Structure 1
Amino acid sequence: MKKTIFFLVITSLFLSSCKTSPVADFGKVKALIESSTWLLQDENGTVVSYNDQEVSMNFINDNGLQAVGFAGCNRYFSAVTLLPESMKFANPGSTMMACPEMDGEKAFLDLLTQVNTYEVSGNELKLFHDKIVLLRFKKK
């Protein structure tokens, strides 16, 4: 059941919303992105969790920018290219835990590789493929 709900959340985010303009003050936005813990939201703004742990993303800048976090069963990591007009994730790697329901995690990691731009508005980070919202996070 949780697998189905998680997959529906990811799918609904993929099919909703449109992107607005590029980042105005890149220095401030970059600092906010890198200093925050981001929690995945569903289309209603509810934080998505799996096994009582929130699906999350943190950015660390240690020999290049990386995204790290919890994807639903495993911890993941991915190199990130962040520019004022774009954000791209390399193919993410993860730990190798086996869980009964892995479809939601796979969908989440697959969507990361499709991201090509972003928007930060207040305490929300949206990741897009062109004008389609793929993933939406809120600041913890």
Structure 2
Amino acid sequence: MIYLCFCLCIGCASVNGTEQHIHRQWMLVSYKDFPKEDLMNSKAEINLTKISDAGKIAGTAFMGCNRMFFNAEIKSKKRIEISGLGSTLMACEKMELESQFSKDFEKMKNFVIEGHFLTLYDEKGNKIKFVAADWD
């Protein structure tokens, strides 16, 4: 009985710990064939710090042109649901990154946090990798 309680407490602590670590600003460092230098020059990022009244993440993203907004919900220690992706509607010269990201982002269903890195995965194994903005 004590062992069961201990395991349940550890399991809950792990999810809460994961949730605390995900609530950060993340800089995009790896996505498809886009060079890392282009990602950095675009100041590509997602921000997962704001929590809505419903308890979901009220996220924002920027890929070099438009501001994007979305909802995200942590479903379990490794599962995330991203929905409601929208954006402002400015036209810019270089929009390929933003175009591809907006097509793929809501498909991401799994996540892993390793050190200062957040990696999102879809069901096919495609990934989007970020580094914490507050990491030196």
Both structures adopt the same fold (TM-score exceeding 0.5): yes
CA positional deviation for 1:66: 1.9
Contact 2:42 2:63 in 1 (8 A): no
TM-score by length of 2: 0.74
- The answer for the alignment partner of 1:39 in structure 2 is 27
> Structure 2 counterpart of 1:104, which letter?
L
Deviations 1:33-83 (A, max 9, x none): 11x21000126994613xx44101111102232221212211101111212
CA positional deviation for 1:28: 1.1
Distance 2:57 2:63 in 1: 18
Q: Which runs of 5+ in 2 are unaligned?
A: 1-12
> Structure 2 counterpart of 1:123, which letter?
H
CA positional deviation for 1:109: 1.2
Deviations 1:80-109 (A, max 9, x none): 121223112114101111101222201011
Q: Greater Rg, structure 1 or structure 2? A: 2
Contact 1:39 1:54 in 2 (8 A): yes
Deviations 1:97-127 (A, max 9, x none): 1101222201011111111111010000000
- Distance change (3 Å), C-alpha of 1:46 and 1:104: closer
Distance 1:138 1:118 in 2: 13
Q: Which runs of 5+ in 1 are unaligned?
A: 1-23
- The answer for the alignment partner of 2:44 in structure 1 is 55
Task: Give the ranges of 4+ consecutive aligned residues of structure 1 lying more than 3 Å apart after TM superposition.
Answer: 43-47
Which one has a larger percent helix, Structure 1 or Structure 2? 2
Which of the residues 64, 75, 86 maps onto 1:72? 64
Distance 1:45 1:136 in 2: 13
- CA RMSD between the two structures: 2.2
- The answer for the alignment partner of 2:132 in structure 1 is 139
- When the two structures are aligned, how many residues end up with a matched partner? 114
Q: Which has the higher contact order (CA 8 A, sep 6+)?
A: 1
> Structure 2 counterpart of 1:37, which letter?
Q
- The answer for the alignment partner of 2:9 in structure 1 is none
